[in-house]
Amino acid sequence: MLALVRHGETDWNSAGRLQGHSDIPLNKLGRTQANDAGARLSAEDWDLLVSSPLRRAVETAEIIGSYVGLDISHTVPGLIERDFRDLEGTVLLGKERAEIDELLVACEPEAEVAMRSIEALQQLVRENAGRRMIVVAHGTLIRVTMGLLQGEPHAHVLNCETIELEPELLMGYESETAVR
């Protein structure tokens, strides 16, 4: 089983800023959220802890690891958040949906984010068959990955929310390029 965990809150999250690849640290609430997630996850046994390389995810994983008795085994570049490019740091709150959608066209496409995430997660499962993993990543990445795997839109993922993902669902997914 994989537990996908969104990182804790940052100051940019609380301000409604797009952070994508920007390397923003957790704030005080984010560290509290990570401690709460660690306490929840400590009720089960885990074999592996991995993270996106961005420090908000790494810090969340380190805090969770202190509860579950694991160090981060490695960071996975394929789990980095969507690249919002020139929009990073922008506040979109209060804008109309159509205007937001138009702005987001210039960003890394959600389908590409989902595919690189699925490929990275499939590689983790292949390399660690039968191991129970905690994977700390990012909200948009988790949301679009789960949406693609489940075949329907997935809801917004809250800071330090945990989404359980069965390896069979993940490994059963074949991209269009893999089918060709």
Domains within the chain, CATH numbers bracketed:
2-173 (3.40.50.1240)
**Cα 48 to Cα 126: distance, rounded to the nearest angstrom:** 13
Q: Does the pLDDT value for residue 178 go beyond 50?
A: no
Which residues have a catalytic role annotated?
7, 81
Binding site residue list for substrate: 6-13, 56
Say whether pTM exceeds 0.75.
Answer: yes
pLDDT digits (tens, 9 = 90+) for 115-148: 999 999 999 999 999 999 999 999 999 999 999 9
Q: Measured between alpha carbons, how far is 147 from 96 in angstroms, rounded to an integer?
A: 23
Model pLDDT, residue 40: 98
- pLDDT band (50, 70, 90) for residue 175: low
Report residue 180's pLDDT band, with 50, 70 and 90 as the boundaries: very low
Q: Which of 70, 131, 89, 83 is nearest to 109 (CA)?
A: 83
The mean of the pLDDT values for the chain is 95
Q: Report the binding-site residues.
A: 6-13, 56
